[in-house]
Amino acid sequence: MSVPFSTHWHWLRAAARYYWRAQTRYDVHSPFLAAWLKAVVEDEREYYAFDEIEIIRQYWLRSPQMIDYSSDLGAGSRAGQGEKRAVKEMARWSSVDQQTGRRLFRMMQFSQPKTILELGTNLGISAMYLQRGAVGAQLYTIEGQAPVARLAQASFHRLGKQYQPEIITGSFSEILPQLLPRMEQVDVVWLDGDHRQEATLAYFEEILPFLHPGSVVAVGDIYWSQGMEAAWEILKNHPSVTLSVDLFEFGVLFFREEQQAKEHFTLIPYHYKPWRLGFF
């Protein structure tokens, strides 16, 4: 499956802009954000859960299986289009990469949520990182395609029965009005299944009444397209958001009442900019 040159060019320009404006831990003065950055971005410790999950990813990457895929409910996929899709291409292109997965895991460890909502299950790779990072949490994950949801269920079966989330099949717009009242309160949201500007903003607004000051909303692929970049700009400037962090692979929104003034940070591990010690 080939990705159009224009798409590659967009991502390269976005990466360059991100790197140019990115700050490091030496630019962070908030004790909360400094601790979050150290735990989520700078921590390089290995956990046995990482190997468990990556073994399952490798299993799907070797799979010769093709699945039936109905019309795409989102903004399309790098794994291809059409009624038949290769599972190995879904594992390669539509699942979170290892770095993103590890950051999600560490973010769960830091936040210690009781409830997690994921929009976009795919093969369950991101869900496994979320679940293993917050073992005691109840994870609800929504997948638009029934055949894909069955593959995600198989992923969790391989991980172990003690880590089973509730996988719900259907469109986000159909499921959220039923699911959110049942959850009552949402501690963490991983929004990564529909990379359209209007849809992303609509899902956020629908989830917002169920958030609280300690909630965290992570938005995947904020540089996917110009529309997603625009959505991220709107979200980080939303009146309810007090702090936002751009990690390139995804953005994170906080709602902390302790935050005296709204702040936005574009952050990168300090070793990618070793000369930046907060003086520039």
CATH of the domain at 178: 3.40.50.150
**Does residue 132 sit within a domain?**
yes
Check: pTM over 0.95? Answer yes or no.
no
pLDDT at 11: 81
**Does residue 29 sit within a domain?**
yes
pLDDT at 238: 98
**Does residue 82 sit within a domain?**
no
**Does residue 210 sit within a domain?**
yes
Angle between helices 48-61 and 98-111 (to 10 degrees): 140
Per-residue pLDDT at 75 exceeds 50: no
Which residues, 6 or more positions from 230, have their beta carbon under 8 angstroms from its beta carbon?
A: 197
Q: What's the rounded Cα separation, in Å, for the pair 126 and 57?
A: 10
Per-residue pLDDT at 278 exceeds 60: no
- Sign of the C-alpha dihedral computed for residues 102, 119, 23 and 10 taken in this order: positive
Per-residue pLDDT at 54 exceeds 90: yes
Percent of the chain at pLDDT > 70 equals 91
**Does residue 8 sit within a domain?**
no
The DSSP bridge pattern shows strands 243-246 and 250-254 to be: antiparallel
**Does residue 86 sit within a domain?**
no
Position with higher pLDDT, 157 vs 260: 157
Range of the domain at 234: 21-64+97-272
**Does residue 249 sit within a domain?**
yes
Per-residue pLDDT at 69 exceeds 90: no
Say what the alpha-carbon torsion angle 206, 207, 208, 213 is, to the nearest 10 degrees: 170
Q: Give 208-226 pLDDT, tens digit per residue.
A: 999 999 999 999 999 999 9
Total structural domains within the chain: 1
Q: Kindly indicate the confidence band of residue 4, based on its pLDDT and cuts at 50, 70 and 90.
A: low
Q: Kindly indicate the confidence band of residue 10, based on its pLDDT and cuts at 50, 70 and 90.
A: confident
For residue 124, which of 107, 103, 139 has the smallest C-alpha distance?
A: 139
pLDDT at 163: 80
pLDDT at 276: 65
**Does residue 81 sit within a domain?**
no
Residue type (1 letter), 233: E
Per-residue pLDDT at 177 exceeds 60: yes
Q: What's the rounded Cα separation, in Å, for the pair 45 and 191?
A: 26
